[in-house]
Amino acid sequence: MDSSEIQKLANLAMIEIDDSQVSEVAARISDVLALVDQLQAADTDNVTPMAHPLDTVQRLRSDEVNEPNRREAFQAIAPESENGLYLVPKVIDAG
């Protein structure tokens, strides 16, 4: 992992990595990737891919509304709100 790859990842994850930390982070991520390489060497030809480590299935609930409106409590701990909306620094990008 070179420093530009580390910075790209940091950017995607929205975390700040100082230039002085880059080499340490790169080394640690490289260790994890080495571990993944090792795992990938295992023969999995006859193994069904697993979506979750627990060997069970999702339980589903019935379609009922039972969450009350707790806007006041939630907005009391929000940094800023107005007319019922949460206010955040302006970001424009249509997803």
Q: Contact residues for another protein (CB under 8 A)?
A: 12, 14, 51-52, 54, 56-67, 69-71, 74-75, 80, 82-95
| Residue 75 near residue 81 (C-beta atoms within 8 A) | yes
Residue closer to another protein, measured from CB, 9 or 26: 9
Residue closer to another protein, measured from CB, 20 or 62: 62
Residue closer to another protein, measured from CB, 42 or 94: 94
For 82, the 3-state DSSP assignment is strand
Cα–Cα–Cα angle for 76, 77, 82, nearest 5°?
A: 55
- The nearest distance, CB 28 to another protein, in angstroms, is 18
Give the integer Cα–Cα distance in Å for 78 and 89: 13
- The nearest distance, CB 7 to another protein, in angstroms, is 13
- The nearest distance, CB 29 to another protein, in angstroms, is 14
Give the integer Cα–Cα distance in Å for 55 and 82: 46
